[in-house]
Amino acid sequence: MAETADHLPEDAAALKAALIETRAKLSGAQALIAHLQLTIEKMKRAMFGPRSERSQRLIDQLELELEELAAAAGEDEAKAEPPRVHVQGFTRCPATRRNFPADLPRRRIVHPAPTSCPCCGGSKLSKIGEDVTETLDVVPRQWFVTEHVREKFSCRSCETITQPPAPFHAIARGFAGPSLLAMMLVEKYANHQPLNRQSEQYAREGIELSVSTMADHVGACAATLTPLHELIKAHVFAAERIHGDDTTVPVLAKTKTRTGRIWTYVRDDRPFGGGAPPAAVFFYSPDRAGLHPERHLAGYSGILQADAYAGFNKLYEPDRKPGQITEAGCWAHARRKLFELADIASKARNRKQTTISPIAFEAVQKFDAIFALERAINGLPPEARAAARRKDIAPLVNDLIDWMKRERGKLSRHNEVAKAFDYMLKRIDVFTRFLEDGRICLSNNAAERELRGIALGRKSWLFAGSDRGGERAAVMLTLIQTARLNDVDPQAWLADVLARIADHKITDLAALLPWNWRRAIPVARAA
């Protein structure tokens, strides 16, 4: 409750302190509200799946709003802290916070202790303990030059001169070290920082690196690392079941941009307890013609989880060589079409459409019940997953299908709910295949997660420079996303690989893959 005029302090300094305290509390409350709103939106997406790109934009907007409010709250709190003034009936207490990670290095600063007692002036002081206040700090990025010294020796007997061979460079005739190259690649393809922005940042730090030079380095690195891309591709297509999806990539043309595609195929056996390491391979194409997935999957036969894109249809033909690919439907796609019709929040924001479909809303609830049971058996072996599905999930699926058929008969063919129902009912065998095969997932979210970074990056880098640029991006995305899937730091891994790959045996390149990688300890003599 706000203070009345009778309860306000009469002293001007105390009144000012109370005002500052009130402002700090208000800022903190606003930041808390923004945090709760963001949390609610993220929980909605986790429970019900992504509604649309508009939903992601809302989350991005909330995150920016939270950032601004948190900064304002911090500023107001800092203003309220010094000088500390005690207001009648209120004593400011410091907020509790989590401890910093124990593995972070500590720099201990011991402040000079008093040499005499401030009370009696005595010098017989005995230490009884200490208070430690921790602050988190960072050392700015340090640039350095590595000198490779090769000493020459002359034989006194035959005058032969000997010298160690020159070390291999990650790039032929290049001057950039492997750590710098790895940072360029991760900043560009993982953090979505174009080379021009990186060049400007380096210039502010006193290092002049032109965009053209950095582009040459990026292209050379992509060529050097292509063999690892091929090994990851072979690993992905050796799986019994893979996820497939694609997304748009604007490509720079002479007078305008055109739309290319980035394709991904993901191997992730963890949902059914598989021991094979996860991996994702990416490809680029200038358009979305069906011949591209046919070329990507030319040697593959197994299970493909994807959306209902018509370009995949030839892959499912029975007489296909080397074998038929089995289609598995994505329940998340089927649910998404219904969720858009039952999304109360989006309808409320759209003044022209304020009503929702009760049939779509009921369908979403039935879908969510199936997803909830599926999450409970995630990670079980295929046989256990299939048995649990037949026992617990199959009755819900059969009930959903019967209900959808009944409701579909009441709707016209032009009804949006009818179209959403038809998406699933016309291919019901594809959507129910997971009930008998424990390797199949309920959704294609594994592939969509790998493409999410590209969707976010488009807002930063705007377009690819050319088709070749798209192909380089596919190579680097394969390496970076596969490293992330295996809980490997992409920058540390790439730096080590670039330092070792030049003199690494071609027959042993598999040792450099993220799931086999072990950082080599360099043995060098300091000058």
In a domain, 141, yes or no: no
pLDDT at 268 over 90: yes
Residue 68's pLDDT is: 58
**CA gap 500, 521 in Å, rounded:** 11
**CA gap 16, 19 in Å, rounded:** 5
- Residues 121-163 have pLDDT tens digits of 888 888 888 888 888 888 888 898 988 899 999 999 888 999 9
Instruction: DSSP for 153-193, please give it.
Output: EE-TTT--EE-PPPPPPSSTT----HHHHHHHHHHHHTS--
Measured in whole angstroms, the distance separating CA 29 from the mean position of its chain's CA atoms is 30
Residue 351's pLDDT is: 52
In a domain, 59, yes or no: yes
What is the amino acid identity at position 113? A
- Residues 325-365 have pLDDT tens digits of 999 999 999 999 898 888 754 554 555 555 678 899 899 99
- Residues 230-255 have pLDDT tens digits of 999 999 999 999 999 999 888 876 66
pLDDT at 432 over 70: yes
pLDDT at 89 over 60: no
Provide the pLDDT confidence category of residue 85 given band limits of 50, 70 and 90: very low
Provide the pLDDT confidence category of residue 90 given band limits of 50, 70 and 90: very low
Residue 50's pLDDT is: 53
pTM: 0.75
Residue 62's pLDDT is: 54
| Bridge partners for 280 per DSSP | 266
| For the chain, percent of residues with pLDDT exceeding 90 | 45
In a domain, 387, yes or no: no
In a domain, 50, yes or no: yes
Residue 348's pLDDT is: 46
Residues 11-23, mean pLDDT to the nearest whole number: 72
Residue 42's pLDDT is: 65
Q: What total number of domains does the chain contain?
A: 1
On whether the CB atoms of residues 217 and 171 are closer than 8 A, the answer is yes
pLDDT at 208 over 60: yes
Provide the pLDDT confidence category of residue 469 given band limits of 50, 70 and 90: confident
Residue 76's pLDDT is: 57
What is the amino acid identity at position 201? Q
What is the chain's alpha carbon radius of gyration, rounded to the nearest angstrom? 30
**CA gap 216, 464 in Å, rounded:** 16
Task: Output 15 or 232, whichever has higher pLDDT.
Answer: 232
Residue 2's pLDDT is: 45
Provide the pLDDT confidence category of residue 49 given band limits of 50, 70 and 90: low
- Residues 162-195 have pLDDT tens digits of 998 887 787 777 788 999 999 999 999 999 888 8
SS3 102: coil
Residue 377's pLDDT is: 94
Provide the pLDDT confidence category of residue 53 given band limits of 50, 70 and 90: very low
On whether the CB atoms of residues 443 and 229 are closer than 8 A, the answer is no
Residue 82's pLDDT is: 47
On whether the CB atoms of residues 332 and 443 are closer than 8 A, the answer is yes
Provide the pLDDT confidence category of residue 69 given band limits of 50, 70 and 90: low
Residue 1's pLDDT is: 43
The sign of the CA dihedral 316, 307, 483, 465 is positive
In a domain, 435, yes or no: no
**Which range has the worst mean pLDDT, 35-44, 235-244, 308-317?**
35-44
- Residues 397-422 have pLDDT tens digits of 999 999 999 999 999 988 999 999 99
Residues 106-120, mean pLDDT to the nearest whole number: 88
Residue 466's pLDDT is: 78
- Tell me which residue range forms the domain holding 17: 8-80
CA neighbor of 478 nearest in space, from 503, 504, 453, 457: 453
In a domain, 24, yes or no: yes
Residue 83's pLDDT is: 47
In a domain, 44, yes or no: yes
The torsion region of residue 265 among left (phi > 0), alpha (psi -120 to 50) and beta comes to beta
pLDDT at 57 over 50: yes
In a domain, 292, yes or no: no
